[in-house]
Amino acid sequence: MAANDTASATKLIKGRVVLNQLLKFLFLLATMVGLIFLVLLIYRVLDQGLGFLDVNFLTSFPAPFPEEAGLLAGIMGSIFLMLLVAPIAVILGVSTALYLEEYAPKNRFTRFIQVNVQNLAGVPSIVFGLLGLTFFVYLFSLGYTLIAGALTMSLLILPVIVVASQEAIRSIPNHLREASIGMGASKWQTIWTIVLPAAIPGILTGSILALSRAIGETAPLIVVGAATTIYSIPDSLLSKYTAMPIQIYSWTVRPQEEWQYVAGAGIIVLLVILLAMNAVAVWIRNKFQHRF
């Protein structure tokens, strides 16, 4: 009897160990799949693009010859877009999240808003482009300008920022709020001094993911009239503009092979700017995390 028990127990344990090893291997495999494709992609882009990536590429406007074409208009257009989109979307998004989490009564209407915001995060970007065309370009008569593009992009990433900020705010333990209220602080004082500082790392992570999406979007910008070829840098909110992904796309559809390399160089620049944005976010996040 006892011997039998030990035998079956050993068998059971052995089964669990094998299962554990198997799953560990599967999870590692899953990680590798993503990683391998990322490495392949980066290798291919570097291989194709590095030859065309020089100072000239960064400081020139578009040209009909691959060796002379540059991304300057796209780089500056994208940077100015982000400089506008970031404050607009983050301020609106965090305010919405604060209202929904801290102030709004937990009733059917709030839940209705909640569900809608979550669904908006999944709406295809081209739909936001059409929305921007209808409202900002035509109804508000902004035309095909930088500010119309920035407002459209802000709308596009707003839902993601709202949802991420809500999660971050919700994860702050309630006893922190209660302690603050117990000390006589008002709701706003509690939010400003306790909730927001504690939630900033989460809010930033969400915001930066959203901004990364915005900087790579092409479709909605084409709809709201970002130019393909332009020989100027935006100098006001009502300037015509272009953006990096639009220029890169217009190069990839060209017939001559060299344009694929020019596009590769453009993708490298886009990736570097994206990484720089992420780095800034990580830096801010770490800075705030030290306080607690």
The C-alpha angle 39, 266, 277, rounded to 5 degrees, equals: 75
How many beta carbons lie within 10 A of that of residue 158, not counting itself? 22
How many beta carbons lie within 10 A of that of residue 97, not counting itself? 24
Alpha carbons 66 and 195: distance in angstroms, whole number: 52
- Between 10 and 256, whose beta carbon lies closer to other proteins? 256
Alpha carbons 186 and 190: distance in angstroms, whole number: 6
- Between 114 and 239, whose beta carbon lies closer to other proteins? 239
- Between 84 and 117, whose beta carbon lies closer to other proteins? 84
The pair of three-digit structure tokens given for residue 13, joined into one six-digit string:
């344990």
DSSP letter for 51, please: G
Q: Are 82 and 150 in contact (CB under 8 A)?
A: no
- Between 206 and 264, whose beta carbon lies closer to other proteins? 264
Q: Closest approach of Cβ 236 to other proteins, in Å?
A: 3
Q: Closest approach of Cβ 230 to other proteins, in Å?
A: 6
Q: Closest approach of Cβ 256 to other proteins, in Å?
A: 5
Q: Closest approach of Cβ 86 to other proteins, in Å?
A: 13
Q: Closest approach of Cβ 220 to other proteins, in Å?
A: 13
Interface positions with other proteins (CB under 8 A): 55-56, 59-65, 67-68, 72, 76, 80, 83, 142, 144, 147, 222, 225-240, 250, 252-257
Alpha carbons 273 and 253: distance in angstroms, whole number: 23
